[in-house]
A and B are shown apart, each in its own frame.
Chain A
């Protein structure tokens, strides 16, 4: 059974603007227990620590204090465009990401074929991605990012979904992923998407979790929080 358990997790950044290079907590003493079958909506104003929390959950950052126990494979949709080389083709970039994901040759061939079909790039798939329009690039990025489904899915709001024609297909793919992955953590400002896809809401403010409960109540809490500020 997949699970994510955070106990008293803190993570700080060094503030470069100050002469003394002070530490600033981005995630401060956060505890969270997520069991298989839960779909978490992560809500909070900009700078609340949502993306950093996702990166801690993904193992990209190691906490400065506290512990994180992850059971299950993790896939992240934070910035789908990472590691892409503009000089190389969509196919080469897709292959690189498949190698980075640790796939063997036959899995790579399957995944690249899926990415080519899903992105609908056709002959452009073999062209350097620097020649792509922004919409084409978003399609490629989306297809590469969502090609694999793991036990735990972490999604950031910044994960784009391209033009209107592609958007429906992309949203459907995301819904499929949300329902397939035993655990989903979705950070977004779009409360409607969160209500539609999540069962539990976690509200963050000033690096801390300030509410954890039903998604509807979490959205209401967040709206009140914004009004008060």
Chain B
């Protein structure tokens, strides 16, 4: 690879534009919560209400202590919110930033990175919900909860290519955009967020094939079972490497969405 093609590589562009998408992602939040009193904490309050509602429902359905599952659910929903919000917002970004794409050299991949970054900032706020739920439900709170910080890095690297692919595909095939919320909801129920994977059967297989489930299982095992599941970690590393590789190859080979704007 010569210097010129390296400097045009999507990953290099993403790195070289980090200050800009970092700033724009932060600015998006500032704009979204302008003139609100608690700002992004509204998102955390929203998440907390879903965690409480889901925990109640799961507790009642499974005949367990009402809030015994709450910490697991809180971790699941916090990570899932990062994944699902990144995917759904990435789909809108090319349309929303048409003017930016037509008047600057800012790369398309960096726009997707901006969306993921702003959701990572929300995720950082949402971690307070996990802490709160762990304390209130009487679950042991330990430094192991800090694993949720490096896990967020695993999630955002892993989500980069899927979010980029979604953004491009749904920009070009607008019919799919309509069914995206249903699709995400479908995957939500297939991911062990509100349920625990059984030891055998089709649901276990689904959890084994779902990268979002790997992240959840890895985090939960580390926090609640004091067990570092190396096999899951290796799976995630491989998935993330593939995500980066695909992002680098696809965003170079696919034609620009700019011509369609």
Contact = CB atoms under 8 A, between A and B. Distances in A.
Interface of A: 11-14, 16, 55, 58-62, 76, 78-79, 81-83, 85, 87-88, 92, 96, 99-100, 102, 128
Interface in B69-119: 97, 99-106
B30 A88 contact: yes
Contact of A88 (B34, B104, B105, B256): B34
A61 B103 CA distance: 9
Given A88-B34, A96-B24, A79 B103 contact: yes
Contacts of B260: 13-14, 16
B103 A60 contact: yes
A62 B255 CA distance: 10
Contacts of A14: 259-260
A151 B106 CA distance: 20
A122 B104 CA distance: 28
27 contacts: A13-B260, A14-B260, A58-B105, A60-B101, A60-B102, A61-B258, A62-B256, A79-B103, A81-B99, A82-B99, A82-B102, A82-B104, A83-B103, A85-B27, A87-B31, A88-B27, A88-B31, A92-B27, A92-B30, A96-B23, A96-B24, A96-B27, A99-B20, A100-B104, A100-B106, A102-B19, A128-B34
B104 A60 contact: yes
Interface string B107-134: 0000000000000000000000000000
B193 to A, nearest CB: 33
A142 B23 CA distance: 22
Given A14-B259, A88-B30, A83 B23 contact: no
Interface residues of B, number: 21
A128 B31 CA distance: 10
Contacts, number: 60
Contact of A60 (B19, B23, B105): B105
Interface of B: 19-20, 23-24, 27, 30-31, 34, 97, 99-106, 256, 258-260
Nearest to A16: B260
Contacts of B256: 61-62
A79 B102 contact: yes
A16 B31 CA distance: 33
A100 B105 CA distance: 10
B34 A61 contact: no
Given A11-B259, A78-B103, 16 more contacts: A12-B259, A13-B260, A14-B259, A58-B105, A60-B101, A60-B104, A61-B259, A79-B99, A83-B100, A87-B31, A87-B34, A88-B31, A96-B24, A99-B20, A100-B23, A100-B104
Nearest to B16: A102
Contacts of A16: 260
A79 B261 CA distance: 14
Contact of B105 (A12, A13, A59): A59
A41 to B, nearest CB: 21
A13 B23 CA distance: 31
B170 to A, nearest CB: 15
Nearest to B28: A85
A81 B103 CA distance: 9
Contacts of A99: 19-20, 23
Shortest Cβ-Cβ A-B pairs, 7 listed: A82-B103, A82-B99, A87-B31, A99-B23, A83-B100, A85-B31, A87-B34
Contacts of B99: 79, 81-83
A188 to B, nearest CB: 17
A119 to B, nearest CB: 19
B20 A100 contact: yes
B184 to A, nearest CB: 27
B235 to A, nearest CB: 36
Contacts of B19: 99, 102
Contacts of A79: 99, 102-103
A160 to B, nearest CB: 14
